[in-house]
Every structure is written in C-alpha cells, then in structure tokens.
Chains A and B, each alone.
Chain A
Amino acid sequence: MRGSLPVFAAAAAPPGRVKENPFVSVIEWFGEIGVFCARLFRIVLAPPWEFRELIRQCDEIGSKSLPLVALAGAATGVVLSLQTRDSLIHFGAKSLLPAVIFYSVIKESGPVITGLVVSGRVGAGIGAELGSMRVTDQIDAMEASAVEPMRFLVATRVAACILMLPLLTICADFCAIMMGWVAEAAVEPISLRHFLENGTQGVGFSDFIPPTLKTLVYGLIIGVVACFQGMRVRGGTEGVGRAATSSVVLSSLFVILADVILVRLILVFWS
C-alpha cells in the first residue's frame, strides 16, 4: 500500500485498490465521515430509540472497560507520585505533592489516559465487530428486516461511548489519586485524610468539571470513527483487520488533536 496516509483509505478498499493519491483519500474520508455524521444526527433525533441495545452497549463499553481504565489510572497515579516527588523536594515544595497529583490527574492525565485506553479497547472492538457483521451480510440482513443499522448499531454505540467516557474518567481519576497516595505513603507515612486535604486545597470543582466533560467529545470521536470504519469495511477478513487497526489509530489521533483544541477552548471560555 503506497502513500503516506494509508490509514484513511485502508478500511475502505481491498489491497491493490487503495487510491494512489493519499491526499485524495484523506479528503474523501472526511467527506464520507461528514455525510455519515449528518445521517447519524438525523437518525438520533427521530424515534424509535433502541434503549435496550443502548444499555447493552453501555455495559459492553463502560463496565467492561472499567478494569483497564482503573489500572491505567492507578499506574498514572503511582508514576506521577514517584516522578514529581524528587523534583518537588529539590525545590523545597514537597508539601505540594498531593496538590500536584490532584491537579495533573484531574486536569489532564485522567481524561487523556481514559480517552486513549478506551479508543484502544473499544475502538478496535467496534471496528472489528461491525466490520465482521458487514462482511458476513449481517448488516444487510438487518436492513432487509426493515431495521436501520445506523439506528440499531451505530447510534447506540456512539451514545454509549459518549455517556461512558466521563464516568470512566471519574473512575480513572479516583484510582490515580488513591494510588498516588499509596505510593507517597509507602515512601513517607501520610494519612489519607491529610493527603486529600492537601490535594483539594489547590483544586476546585471548577477545575474538575470542564476536563471531565471534555471526554464527552472523546466519546463522540471514538464512537463515530470506530463505527464509520467498521461500517465501510470491504474485502473480507483482511478488511476487518484493517478496520480494527484504523479505528484505533484514527480515534487515538483525533482524541489527541481534540484534546489540544478543547484545552485551549476551556482556557478561553472557562477561566
């Protein structure tokens, strides 16, 4: 596969039929996902809504991502505690360690880590699941049964991603802070109450809300990109593999780009 941006075209066409010009592929990709989003938006607004499937997807995307997100959050807390401790001692600001952990976890590490972990686990899962449904005619069978796949498969997954990301982020934040305390307490005894009091001194509720709510956008990105890549699969099982890979790559990429933009917007409009 030639071209410097093959991932945009990868899931759409079988090997050998990928567009030669990568920039045309990128423009086509954005055009197609724009049409896909417009169609999704129109469908979401009108009943019937598939609440039962939405709950199933919330379980699939939310509950089943919880252990991984919690582990990633916990690891982040430990690493933050270990890494920043020496620096703060060097500047004579060791007492600020809880506040530093709180601030960096809530403001940035928690939401971004959650976004990237979910884009890996859920993005690949949705891309592969919808892709394999496409190549085995299950999506056509659904359409032939007068059930709109965009409503049943796509809208429910995108909505579940949007709803679950903030909740998973809160969980990641909690695990990171708790493990930050454990790592600190292992080096130098400090009570949890003292750690929490110190930590919350520099961080208010207004610091917590915008970064947590920005993960709604991450959820939208992960859901839309993964569903779009899965729904447009061609080329059998090889296409399914490409869809899973490109779902992860593209949703991670757009989560990072969205983070840059959203942080700037939060600073402008919230501060």
Chain B
Amino acid sequence: MAAPSRSVEVPVEVKDLRKSFGGHKVLDGISLRVPHGETLAVLGRSGTGKSVLLKLLVGLQTADAGSIRIAGEEIAGLNRARAGEVKSLNEIRKKTGYLFQQAALYDSLTVEQNVDFPLSRHSDLSESDRREKVRGLLSGVGMDPSDFDKMPSEISGGMQKRVGLARALALDPQILLLDEPTAGLDPITAAGIGSLITDLKKKRGITSLVVTHDVRGAEAFADCVVLLDEGRIVADGTFDELQRSTGPFVRQFLTGNGRSHGPRKKED
C-alpha cells in the first residue's frame, strides 16, 4: 500500500477551538495536537462535541474562534461558501480520510463504486488501475469479493463501516478521522475494526484521530487519549496515565460506574 505523499511533524494541531450552536457552547476552548503517525482517541459522553470537532477539522462546519492546522495548513478561517477558499479546503480534504459514524455510503452506488468515487474524481489512474486499487482496498479491510457489487443496503452495518474505511483510504490520506468506528457493532466486529486501525498505523504511518465511546477499543489502538466533557478537555495523556487518574469523572468514565456528572476543570 502506498505511503502518504508528504509528512508534517504535527499533522493535526488545534488551538483554543470554540464552536456554539445558538447559545449552546459545544466546544469551549479545545487544544490538542496529534504527532505524525500517532493515533489520538477522543473520548466523552454523547453530545460533548466529539463529532463536531471532527467536522471542524475538514471544514464541514466553521469554527467560531481558534486555530486548526491540518497537514500544516490553517483551515479555521476558510469559508465553504467562497469558491477560492473551497478550493483550498478541498486540497486539504484530499489529504484527509473521513469515516462517518453511520459510514454514510452513497446508497445509489455499489460497494465498489463507493470506494471508487473519490478516486474517479481526484486521481490520474486509468480505469483498470482504479479498479485494481479499489479491490485491493476492499480486500484490505476484509471485504469478500462477492460483496463488491452489492448495494450498501444489502450489507451489514459492520461491512458498511469497513467499506467506509476503504473509501476514506482511497486517496492515500496522511490523516484519518474516524467517527465512532466501532459504535453499534458486536464485540468481535468492533475488535476487527480496531485491528484494522492499528494495522493502518503500522503499515502506512497514518496519523489518526478517533472519536469513540469504546474505552476498551481506544486502549487497544490509541497512543494518546483526550477526554471531553461539556466542550472541554478534562483529561489527556496515555491510556495508562488516564487509568492512574484519581479524578472522579475520569474514573467514572473509564469504569462506567457512578452518577453522570462531570467536573468542568481539567483533572489529573
């Protein structure tokens, strides 16, 4: 498999990122950095702005304030409605693979066509080379060739996630953004997806940012973890460091015990 075309020391760097919807602060001063080739897991309760964070990183939403540097380029100020700025955003998006929470496969296209979609628009490969690459990607995520011609509605949720992952990898991205890659999957399939993420890191050196509720999965594939609550980072570090934390919210989140109230300030 091809290696990323260019590596930046810190491909993902976010500083003091803020985003509100109406009067509700979803992200309230988030700062994080993901060094090249590392996987950062973003943990947190539902509704704490994890998915919004990912959408901000590829310009699907616009930040109210703060800085977002993706592959060395500042994108926080780019406006999706302006033609020139969309061009700049698209250049960054080509370096970024995005797996959506529900896979978001195009339901009018087959599995194979879904993975080919970004390739057919952004690569110079011939049709036969593209087909070969698409099939390689699908086999790489564990899809059976007999499923390549199926429509997304004809395959299971776990398979859809795999196809979504293959599509995210189609343009050989430097950065992979994964939104709940194991949500709604049985433990065996979830473990399979977790192994795929680990393999991608090892084989391709991809920098990944994974939003998840899956604490055990994050432990397996993440180099570092940040824990969000009420739009703020309340804890960060390696998984072992988080496990040693005495903060009540961190303990409660990692063990799944206790009442659902979280502190606002950063814990140990």
Contact = CB atoms under 8 A, between A and B. Distances in A.
A147 B121 contact: yes
Interface stretch (A137-145, A155-163, A208-216, A242-250): A137-145
Contact of A138 (B55, B83, B98, B107): B107
Contacts of A144: 58, 60, 93, 96, 98, 100
* Interface hub of B94, B101, B104, B107 (most chain A Cβ within 10 A): B104
A39 interface: yes
B83 A140 contact: no
A146 interface: yes
Contacts of B86: 148
B245 interface: no
A42 interface: yes
Interface in A89-115: none
A191 interface: no
Interface string B49-86: 00000010010100000000000000000001101001
A46 interface: yes
B104 A146 contact: no
Given A42-B83, A140-B100, A146 B106 contact: no
Interface string B217-237: 000000000000000000000
B93 A137 contact: no
Nearest to B96: A144
A138 B93 contact: no
Interface SS of chain A: helix, strand, loop or mixed?
A: helix
A141 B83 contact: no
A21 interface: no
A148 B29 CA distance: 30
A136 interface: yes
Contacts of A146: 89-91, 93-94, 118, 121-122
Interface in A145-181: 145-148
* Interface hub of A133, A141, A148 (most chain B Cβ within 10 A): A141
Nearest to A141: B104
A65 to B, nearest CB: 18
Interface residues of B, number: 27
Contacts of B121: 145-147
Interface string B160-184: 0000000100010000000000000
Interface residues of A, number: 18
A46 B86 CA distance: 13
A147 B118 contact: yes
Interface string A112-142: 0000000000000000000011001110111
A65 B118 CA distance: 30
A141 B100 contact: yes
B90 to A, nearest CB: 4
Given A137-B101, A138-B106, A145 B60 contact: no
A270 B130 CA distance: 53
A46 B101 contact: no
Contacts of B101: 137
B102 interface: yes
Contacts of A142: 106, 117
Contacts of A143: 58, 60, 80, 93
Contacts of A140: 55, 60, 100, 104
Contact of B102 (A132, A136, A145, A148): A136
A141 B90 CA distance: 12
A54 to B, nearest CB: 15
B118 A145 contact: yes
A140 B164 CA distance: 13
A46 B83 contact: yes
A200 B122 CA distance: 54
A140 B179 CA distance: 13
B53 to A, nearest CB: 14
Q: Which 7 A/B pairs are nearest by Cβ-Cβ distance?
A: A137-B104, A146-B90, A141-B104, A146-B93, A145-B118, A144-B98, A137-B100
Interface of B: 55, 58, 60, 80-81, 83, 86, 89-91, 93-94, 96, 98, 100-102, 104-107, 117-118, 121-122, 167, 171
Given A137-B104, A142-B106, A146-B91, 4 more contacts: A136-B107, A140-B104, A146-B121, A147-B117
Interface of A: 39, 42-43, 46, 132-133, 136-138, 140-148
17 contacts: A43-B83, A136-B104, A137-B102, A138-B107, A140-B60, A141-B100, A141-B105, A143-B58, A143-B60, A143-B80, A144-B58, A145-B93, A145-B118, A145-B167, A146-B90, A147-B118, A148-B90
